[in-house]
Structure formats: structure tokens, C-alpha cells
Chain A
Amino acid sequence: DIQMTQFPSSLSASVGDRVTITCRASQSISTFLNWYQQKPGKAPNLLIYAATSLQSGVPSRFSGSGSGTDFTLTITSLQPEDFATYSCQQSYSTSYSFGQGTKLEIK
């Protein structure tokens, strides 16, 4: 199984800040990496697929990078609606797996 590890597990930031969340795979997954945003009581929402491609309708302040085992999600100029939990997910293996999530809170 491919294990996905995110860090930090939680993060405090202010509106207007730039933040970076990291996701590491236990083996190389090329660019088969997706990012999701989840707000309390809601289903996750796809932000980034194939490591760097922005899903339709997602603001351009979200971006993804990385390949192999190390990936990052960057949010530039944080907006109030961006405070949520972010999860990475690999689709390299037919047995998909998620990271444990990073909770982004208001400082």
C-alpha cells in the first residue's frame, strides 16, 4: 500500500498570507496526486489533479507542484473562505489512499 503523509497537521495563518502544505508519498507516484478542500460538515471538493492542474472553477490562488514522492499545495493571498481542511490523495495505485489532512485555521 502507498502511504500518504501530510505536514503540518494543522496550520494557523492570517487573511492575505501565503501558505504551503506538503504531502509525501511512501513511494514514487509520478504526478498521480490530487488535492481536496473540505469544510466542516461538507463533502470534499477537488482543487488540483495530476499534481499541478487546477480543477475548473477553482480560484487561481491555489496551485500545486511536485512529482515523485514530494508535493506541495500553495495558497497565495488567503481568503476567509479558504480556512478549511486540505487532503492529498494518490491515484498511482488502483488502491487509492489519502493523507490524514491539514487543518488551516485563522490566526
Chain B
Amino acid sequence: QVQLQESGPRLVKPSETLSLTCTVSGGSVSSSSFHWNWIRQPPGKGLEWIGNIFYTGSTNYNPSLKGRVTISVDTSKKQFSLKLTSVTAADTAVYYCARGGYSYGHYWYFDLWGRGTLVTVS
């Protein structure tokens, strides 16, 4: 079955760039039926959507992070990636990659998640 796995450095210094990759196994990122998302959760807090990408390369970002976020996709490697620049302690969080699926033509939701990876900015 399809699985998602996050990878990347667990510790990032303030002002540097956080980089994570999500590898999709058992499936493909090259489908118009899905989009590929990054979501984060600071310790003890709620979930925050960061952004997403379609296999075409089209992206949407959370306005609160826009300017610092870039999401890209590599269909040949079945991966999509997150870069977050100029990080501070407020960016410390568990970062999840998640697949967006839809029903009834346009009701989107997150139906498959990676296990998450804690990234600490310090």
C-alpha cells in the first residue's frame, strides 16, 4: 500500500533553511487525483497547513508563511520537498507530509499521512 516517509535534518540553526523530503512508496506522485502537502504541529499545539503541490508543479502556500516556503516535486524519484528559509525557534515542530485526495469532484482532504519528523530550531 502507499506510504509516505519524511526525511531530513532534525536540527537546524536559527536563520538557516529547513529542508525536508517526503518519499512516496507503493504509489506515484504523478496523478491528477492527488496533491501533496506539508503540515506541521508545534509541540503541544494544533496543526498548521504549510502548503501543497500538484504533480504539474502548481503550488499553494499558507499566506502566513509565504515568502519563506518553497515546495517542489520530483516525479522520477517519487518525492516532494519542503524548504523553509530564515527559521526561528517558532518553526520548531513535528513536520508531516500528507496526501490530499478528493471526493464528489472537489471535496479535498488529507487521507494519508507520514509518521512525522520533529525538527528543532536551535
Contacts and interface: CB of A to CB of B under 8 A. Distances in A.
A49 interface: yes
B43 to A, nearest CB: 11
B35 to A, nearest CB: 10
Interface string B86-122: 0000000000101000011001111101111000000
A44 B115 CA distance: 9
Interface of B: 37, 45-49, 52, 60-64, 96, 98, 103-104, 107-111, 113-116
15 contacts: A31-B107, A32-B107, A34-B109, A43-B96, A46-B109, A46-B111, A49-B107, A50-B104, A50-B109, A95-B60, A96-B52, A96-B62, A97-B49, A98-B46, A101-B46
A55 interface: yes
- Chain A to chain B: the 7 pairs with minimum beta-carbon distance, closest first: A43-B113, A50-B107, A100-B46, A96-B49, A49-B109, A98-B47, A91-B108
Nearest to B114: A43
Give the interface size class of chain A.
Answer: 20 to 34
Interface string A1-40: 1000000000000000000000000000001101010000
Contacts of A42: 115
A87 interface: yes
A7 B116 CA distance: 26
Given A49-B109, A89-B110, A91-B109, 12 more contacts: A32-B107, A32-B108, A36-B47, A42-B115, A43-B113, A43-B114, A46-B109, A46-B111, A50-B104, A50-B107, A55-B111, A95-B49
